[in-house]
Structure formats: C-alpha cells, structure tokens
Structure 1
Amino acid sequence: MGETYASLPPGLGHDDASPVWLNKGDNGWELTAATMVGLQSVPGLVILYGSMVKKKWAVNSAFMALYAFASVLICWVMWAYQMSFGADMIPVLGKPDQVMIDGDLLVQYGHKYIPTADYVFYQFAFAAITVILLAGSLLGRMNFYAWMLFVPLWITLSYTVGAYTIWGAGFLREYIIDYAGGYVIHLSSGVAGFTAAYWVGPRHSHDRQHFPPNNIINMLGGAGFLWMGWTGFNGGSPLAANTITSLAVLNTHICTATSLLVWLSLDMVVYLKSSVIGAVQGMITGLVCITPGAGIVDTWAAVLMGILSGSIPWFTMMVLHKKSSFFQRVDDTLGVFHTHAVAGLLGGILSGLFANPRLLEMFYPMGKQGPGFIYGIANGKFRHGLRQMGFQFAGALFITVWNVIVTSLICILISRMIQLRMEEDDLEIGDDAVHGEEAYALWGDGERHPPPLRFRMTPRMPSFCRRPDSKF
C-alpha cells in the first residue's frame, strides 16, 4: 500500500494535510455547497432586500442582512455551534463552547469523510440565512441598534434549540424528517419573524399603504442568487457527492419551477396581470417547501409539492391575509410568515406523506424515520405512516411554540433597554436618518445639502440611547 501511494503524483497520495479518511471529492463539494449557501445571503438577500423595499429603506434593509451575516459567524464559532451540535447539556440544547481549536476542526466529522471545519462552515451558512430571512418581516421600521442585539440573542436562544433537537442530539432527532431545514430554518424564521413584527410594531402608515420595490431588475438578480444557491442548500445536506445529492438538486429545481408557474398562473387568472414580485414569491415558496424532503422524496412528489407550494401560500398571502384581522394587525413587511412558515410547515407535512423508505435508509444509514404515509399504505404499514405524520405535526408544534415564546421574551428584554421601533420622524426619512447615507444619488455626485441651522443647533439625544418612555 505504501509503495502504491509513493508512486502517485504529488497531491494525490495521503499526507498530513490529506489523511486516509478524507474524501477529497466529498470535501470539495461540501466547501462549494457551503459557499453557495453563503452567497444566498451575501450578496443574494442583501440585493433582494435592498431592491424589494421602498427606495428610502434600501440601505437599511441591505445592511441588516450584511450585519446579521457577520454577527452570526462570530456567535457561531464562539458558542452557538456547540450549542447546536455539541455535547448534551439539557434535552433541547448543547453545552456552549468555542470551536476554534485545530485539533477539533481538522478531524473527521462523525461517519462522514470531511473535516469538522467543513461542517462548521456549512452549518454557519444555514444559521446566518435563517436570521436574515427573519429580518424580512421587520424591514422598514426596526431600530438598527435593537437589531444588533436581537441577532446574537435569537441565534443563541432560539435557532440553536431547533438545530439541536432535530439535527443534533436532541429528543426529536430520531423522529422528525427534516432533510435540509424546513422546520429548523424556514418554519422557525417565519414564525419568529411574524412574532417579532408584532412586538416591533408596524411601518409608517404611508409606507404600509404604499411600499413599491425600488429596483425590480436587481430584485430578480437577488432572487437568482437565492434560487441557484439552493443547489448548495439542499445538495450539501448529505455531506457527500452521492446519489442523494443528485436527486436533491434535481427535485429542488423541479419543485421551484413548478411553484413559480403555479403562483404566476393564479396571479394572471385572479388579477389579470403577471406579477414579477408574485413570481419571486412563488419561487421562494417552492424552494422552501422542497427543502425538508428534497433528497428523500421521488421526483413525482416534488412536482406535487411544487403545485401545492405555489397555491396554498398564495391563498394564505393573497386572500386569507387580506381578510383576516389577525394578519392585518401584524405588519410582516415581505410576507415571511407565508413564504417561509406556511411553506416550511407544508413541506414538512408533505415530506411525511411522500418520504420514500429506500431513500430514507440511504440518507439516514444509522436508522431513522419512515416510511412516509403514502409508502406506508402501499407497503401495508399504514400505522407506521400515520405515526410518522404524527411526528411531523409534533415537531412543527414544538418549533412554533418555542419560537413564539423565546422571540417574544427577547423583544421584551431589548425593549427594556432601547426602542425596538424607530421614531416617527426617522420613519418618514428612512436611510438618511438611520445611517446618514442614501442608496441612489439623484443629483450631482451624491453630495447632500448641510442640515438646516435649527437641526444643527438643537441638542438631541440619539434615538438608540433613549428609553421607550423618554420624551427627549
């Protein structure tokens, strides 16, 4: 064996940097997949958010996403990764600890032939996009300094619990089918975003009535990063370049295309116009819906999931939302509850319906759930399929309740220190009041006139320093 490796060209044999257990193909794909997931957030959602909102909120919306991406990375390596995937502390949470020691990072991750560092980076990209998706509910009014506190608190107290209980060593690990984050990422971000939107309060009344995107072409570019990046999102979950990976990638794009076309068709039938924003929403619901089952359902099931993800969230957003006083009371800026919570719940339930037991065994080689309800009936295992559906509903209920409670507590805690919502004067101005910058220079080279004398002479405490009940 030693002679065989000695005869190989440099770089193909084993050495300290390429140990025997390392599979270079799997590791190369996983690093690529992690980068693709990262690109969904930066620049994907940075561009999407910055373009999908009113012009005066373009800078603030894009920067909320960029800040969250950086903040989550520091939290992730300092304590949150171990809370999600580390040693058991309590049944719903791991023991917080840092993960920056070479001896821990450059070893084989579990039974996969990739380094732990690869998995840490991949899961960071998942954690980051979750809180950035949540931000879509809060655009156009949340105090940026409150957002700076919200991100690390929510990642620490909410996201880690969902990841640990379903993907880590938590009590739901052996029961819930969640291939790539339908519950851990999308249901949690949709529910938490809606909950936080309730506590932060609504946008300025004029913004809520009239909130056109400032650049639809750029919005489509950001949506494209999101769609193509989902190849890594679902394709990276097997942690290997194998047949499950290939199926997951194909199913992802088939479901997404179907969902987009269904949403677009409904818009054309009901509103007699082909809405570009509607097409993007349909694209997102398709991506979200297929995520919990991308590699463990057959392609015919992916088509059905696309049909349902293009129609059910469309109904909840375009019909139910407008008629329900409950939805009208909460200002969910980009409809994250519908595109992520509803679509994520739908995907989780449908994964329990359609999961192929053969694919489940390939993805969960150590033994896992199944079969799906449909296959349970076909194989004479009706009770097994019914039990799996019960597990899927129970998992969704746990994620929903936890996010409502914890997100509420976080918002209440922050509100005791600083304002969650910007002041009305700042809401009228937008980016210039928050960051002193504007997205587009419409005259000259971007110079701004100096503020009027009365603004320069009147002492005023910065809004982020004032308590909610302060009059000054």
Structure 2
Amino acid sequence: MATPFYPMASMVWFQCVFAAIALILLAGSLLGRMNIKAWMMFVPLWLTFSYTVGAFSLWGGGFLYHWGVIDYSGGYVIHLSSGIAGITAAYWVGPRTKIDRERFPPNNILLMLAGAGLLWMGWAGFNGGDPYSANIDSSIAVLNTNICAATSLLVWTWLDVIFFEKPSVIGAVQGMITGLVCITPGAGLVQGWAAIIMGILSGSVPWFTMMIVHKRWPLLQKIDDTLGVFHTHAVAGFLGGTLTGLFAKPVLCNLFLPVTNTRGGVYGGLGDIQFLKIVSLKRLDCGVQFMKQIVGGGFIIGWNVVVTSIICYLISLLMPLRMSEEQLKIGDDAVHGEEAYALWGDGEVYDSTKHGLSSPDNTTHGKIASRNTEMI
C-alpha cells in the first residue's frame, strides 16, 4: 500500500469536516421545531449508522468504490444522503406551526450573501483538495466548480425572471448552491463544456422540483422541509451523480478510479466488461457508467430512508422528537433563553419560567425584557 504524502491527521480532519457539513445540511430540514435533546441523540446515531456507511462504501474502499461508482467529492456521500435523511427526519418530526410555514422570510439578506460568497470560495477548496494532491484533477475540479455554479446561478435567476417577472437574491443563491452540489460528484472528471451543461440542468431541474413539483405533490406539501434541502441538495446531488455517468472523461477517470476503462456514456466504448457479462448486455457500447451511478444513488437513498426512519422511531420511544406547541409559540431560540437580536415582539411579556433565563435569586439578570416591547 502506497504511503500518502500527507499526515493521517490531515485526512482525519478533512473527513471530519465533510461529516459535519452533512449534519448541518440535514439540520436545515428540521429547523424551528425539533426537540434539542432528541437532536443530540440523533446526531451520533446518524453519523455512525448512516453517513459512515455511504462514506466508506464510496470513498473508503467499499463495494461501490471497487465497482466503479463515481463520487468525486461528495455529491452522493454528503448531499444526497443529507437531503434524503433530512426530508425523512422531517416526516417523522412533523411540521412547524402554521404561521411559521406560511411566512418564513430570511432576516438578513446581506449576511446571507456574505455566507454564500464564503461557501462558493470554500467549495473550490474542498473540490480541488479531493485528489489529495496538486495535479490536473485538482485544477480541473476548481475550474469546473466555478463554471457550473455560475451557469446554474444565471439559469435559476432567468427562470425566476421568466415565471415571476423579477429576479430574486435568494433564488440566485439557491441556483449557486445547486450548481455547486451538481458538479461535486464529477468536478475533476468532466470537461468544461460538460460543466456548462451540468450548470444548465442544475439551475433548472431543482428549480422545477421546488417551484412546480413540490406544490403539486401532496406528500412533499405535507413534509415540512424548512430550507428545501431535498431540492437543493438531494435532487441536485443525484442529478450531478447521474450526469457524471454520462460526461466522465476516460483519461481523467483513469487518474482517479480503481476500475479500469471507466468512462461516461457519451464517450462510448465497452466500459466495464465484467458488468456487461453480469447483466447480459455484451453488445452494449455505452451507458454502463450511467447505470452504475443510478444504482449507487439508489443505494444511498434507500439506506438513508431506512436507517433514518429507524433512528427517529427509536428516539421517539424515549422522548418527543418535536417541541411542544407551547414551546413552538415561544420560539425554538427563545425557549432556551437565546435571541438573535434580543427583541421581544407581538406584545409578549417575558416569563422566566418559559424563556430559559430564570434565576434562583431575584436579581436583574433574571428579569431581562420583563416589560412589553414592540418588534422593530
């Protein structure tokens, strides 16, 4: 076994951050109503029994890796798994209050834009760092990351203009994210023209599922996916994985994958001869990698649905997954004595027994915001 040119501690931290990102994305589906104690139980269980299975299967020398399923930088391992697990957990936890679902505007668009810029910059870093060396794969990955994200942002924005007659900052950021997610499975394995096509599709397909399908499918309407993680990460991640099966360039695949003669469907060729024999398609001259990508994505989807459901069910036997109605009316932050802007609105009177800042003595810090104030 070859010795890597970096300390193992670097790899541990690199993979630790990926695992943390997956959980942060998953949390986006559950914002505003999950019981914090249930969440603290959910995190280690999901990481251990769900995330790591996908990670080792695709990255750690597991069966999907040796079969030749491509996931260059986490389109399946991170984004598809967190999106599917998020919407599954949201089903089990239940929805927010009606008023929160009907109106949930962002409270700071400028801060959102700053975060989006940091996200875009950081994405180039982890996509470029996934070959674990400075080579042609890493250079192509960084370039394709920017190409796909920019294209997707423009397409999403144009769709907003065409159908809603005005652009949206939030829509532009969502388009950027879907582009970044879509290119992730094949960032260093496709050419620039393919990254443009992937950007066009990542700016349109998730837009369609979010704006059209979500509003017409009763199941999606019933499930309260707070930040739409299913559309921006699960749909975009699966889309990127399957498109990688079409556009992966053979010479780049040979630098990155253990299975020889791996190639995207548009490049033709026999691909994996052993796979063709198994499925009795000896004369098939393209599409093998595309089918592998679908199977690999299907495994990640199925595993996360089943394991996440089991975890949520077991936790529900010990404690409620959802906050009580009284706590939800107070707010998931305020109930812990926290406020982003320390404002009390709607004429609500501070109650130390509800808002988490009760004090055994009767000092000032136990009486914060004790009078009525109006929301600014």
Q: What is the TM-score normalised by the length of structure 1? A: 0.69
Residues 343-402 of structure 1 deviation map (CA, whole Å, 9 limit, x = unaligned): 0000000000000000111223x44461110012699x9835322111111101110000
Report SS of the residue matched to 2:124. Answer: helix
Partners of 1:455 and 1:378 in 2: CA distance: 65
From 7, 10, 23, the equivalent of 1:131 is: 23
Partner of 2:227: 334
Give the deviation of 1:451 after TM superposition: 2.3
**How far 1:454 moved relative to its partner?**
11
CA 376–421 in structure 1, closer or farther in 2 if over 3 Å, else same: same
CA distance in 2, matches of 1:302, 1:258: 9
Contact 2:58 2:77 in 1 (8 A): yes
1:451 to 335, 342, 351: 351
- Identify if the C-alpha distance between structure 1 residues 425 and 363 changes in structure 2 by more than 3 Å, giving closer, same or farther: same
User: Separation in 2 of the partners of 1:454 and 1:237?
Assistant: 47
What is the count of residue pairs matched by the alignment?
343
SS in 2 for 1:437: coil
Q: Unaligned regions of 5+ residues in structure 2, if any?
A: 274-282, 357-376
Q: Secondary structure at the match of 2:286?
A: helix
Aligned ranges 1:170-319 → 2 under 5 Å: 170-174=62-66, 175-319=68-212
Q: Does structure 2 retain, via aligned residues, the 8 Å contact 1:376–1:383?
A: no
Instruction: Give the equivalent residue in structure 1 for 2:284.
Output: 383
CA contact (8 A) 2:337 2:355 kept: no
Counterpart pick for 1:362 among 251, 255, 270: 255
Task: List gaps (5 residues or longer) in structure 1.
Answer: 1-108, 457-472
What is the distance in 2 between the residues matched to 1:455 and 1:116?
A: 45
- The 8 Å contact of residues 82 and 233 in structure 2, kept in 1 or not, is answered as yes
Counterpart in 1 of 2:299?
398
Indicate which of 319, 322, 338 corresponds to 1:437. 338
Counterpart of 1:118 in structure 2 is 10
CA gap of 1:453–1:149, structure 2 versus 1, over 3 A, is: closer
Mapped contact 2:80–2:301 kept (Cα < 8 A): yes
Contact kept? 2:335, 2:355, Cα under 8 Å: no
From 243, 252, 265, give the equivalent of 1:373: 265
Q: 1:454 to 1:170 in 2, by over 3 A?
A: closer
Shift in alpha-carbon separation, 1:453–1:116, aligned structure 2, 3 A: closer
Residue 295 of structure 1 aligns to a residue whose secondary structure is coil
> Is the 1:370–1:385 contact (alpha carbons within 8 Å) kept by the matching residues of 2?
no
Deviation of 1:223 after TM superposition, in Å, equals 1.4
Separation in structure 1 between the aligned mates of residue 261 and residue 209 of structure 2, nearest angstrom: 30
Deviations 1:314-334 (A, max 9, x none): 000011101111210111001
What is the letter of the counterpart of residue 392 of structure 1? Q
CA deviations over 1:239-298 (Å, ceiling 9, x no partner): 011121111000001100000010000001100111111111111100000000000000
- Give a deviation string over 1:122-149, Cα, whole Å, max 9, x none: 1111111011111110001111111111
